[in-house]
Amino acid sequence: MIRDPETQTLLEEGVRRFIKEVLIPREEEVAETDQIPADVIAQMKEIGLFGLSLPEEFGGLGVTMEEEVRIAFELGQTSPAFRSLIGTNNGIGAMGIYLDGTDEQKQAYLPRLASGELIGSFALTEPEAGSDAASLRTTAVRDGDHYILNGTKRFITNAPEAGIFTVMARTDTSIKGAGGISAFIVEAGTPGLSLGKIDKKMGQKGAHTCDVIFTDCKVPAANLIGNREGVGFKTAMKVLDKGRLHIAAVAIGAAKRMLGDALEFAMNRKQFGHPISDFQLVQGMLADSKTEIYAAECMVLDAARQRDEGKDVSIQASCAKYFSTEMCGRVADRAVQIHGGSGYVSDYAVERFYRDVRLFRLYEGTSQVQQVIIARGLIRGAAI
């Protein structure tokens, strides 16, 4: 749902201009230093990127799902590190508080997340609980006015920069599945919370992940999201439905960037006295990429509009995430192929994007997890 087409157009144009003039020229620096420059972060805060999805009452822009994915189409066209830093504040690092938090929790944290004063992080995955998130082992034991948390979380995005963590922990060990899981807000610096070393990843330099370790970490009971035990997994799933549409849109943006770079290269690179864009086999790769991008974009926009209408889009979100991220991987492969040997060296952005986009098929639920969600949804629907 687009609330005001003129305002949305101006917003998209502003983001597009910022990406072209500020972010793309700094991509190489981020790749070499594994850091987003402080002056770039300051500009991202100034134009409101940390609060795109948070309600206006908390200092955000309050964009709808359709408006958000349209902006994500733009954000995906530069280094994923930039989007990753703001992504948790607009998604999994803040949405749990917004959707299920108490009024006090919302007032305490959402304005600071919207401004970028705080970076949010979402701590669900564990060494033995990735795709099977309901089997997590981190525990939270009530002790008077506090809970004592113990356990380890793995591959936690933005953990090194985070000011707060949304943490999923088991409050009822007698329930083995999702029903015993609760969600907590844990502030950075809380005694008993420590971080592992920053992971060295295949790609996405500048977007940091690491272990988050809880050792007798004492968290106020007031930081139990919604002041309700046993509903944390439901909170996580609601957050992930939205996040999957966002990641799908980012993957589409990255695919657009790679196709644009491949097209420019093909039109300028000559072989046998002709630009390689004249050759039909190269044209086939360009055409296949454009077709798949178009299909993915239509899918994501449709699912976003349905979510804005209040419909359950669990299946649609998984379809969109699955198709868009797999599509992005195929476009990346074709883009490298079109570049030939040049696509395998770091002089061209496609080499970096080829590595960066591989992660899209893993986080927020692997492609195989999306297949399971889609199939189970179909089976449930057929059984009713």
Q: Which residues are catalytic?
A: 364
DSSP for 313-332, please give it. -HHHHHHHHHHHHHHHHHHH
The contacts of residue 4 (CB under 8 Å, 6+ apart) are none
Task: Compute the chain's Rg from CA coordinates.
Answer: 21
DSSP for 102-130, please give it. -HHHHHHHHHHHHHTSS-EEEE--BTTBS
For residues 291 and 245, what is the distance between their CA atoms, to the nearest angstrom? 19
CA 164 to chain CA centroid, nearest Å: 17
- Which residues is 138 bridged to in the sheet? none
For residues 315 and 83, what is the distance between their CA atoms, to the nearest angstrom? 25
- Collapsing DSSP to helix, strand or coil, 265 comes out as helix
Q: Are 33 and 198 in contact (CB under 8 A)?
A: no
For residues 198 and 215, what is the distance between their CA atoms, to the nearest angstrom? 19
Q: Strands, E, within the chain: which ranges?
A: 120-123, 139-143, 146-157, 164-170, 181-187, 193-195, 209-220, 270-271, 274-275
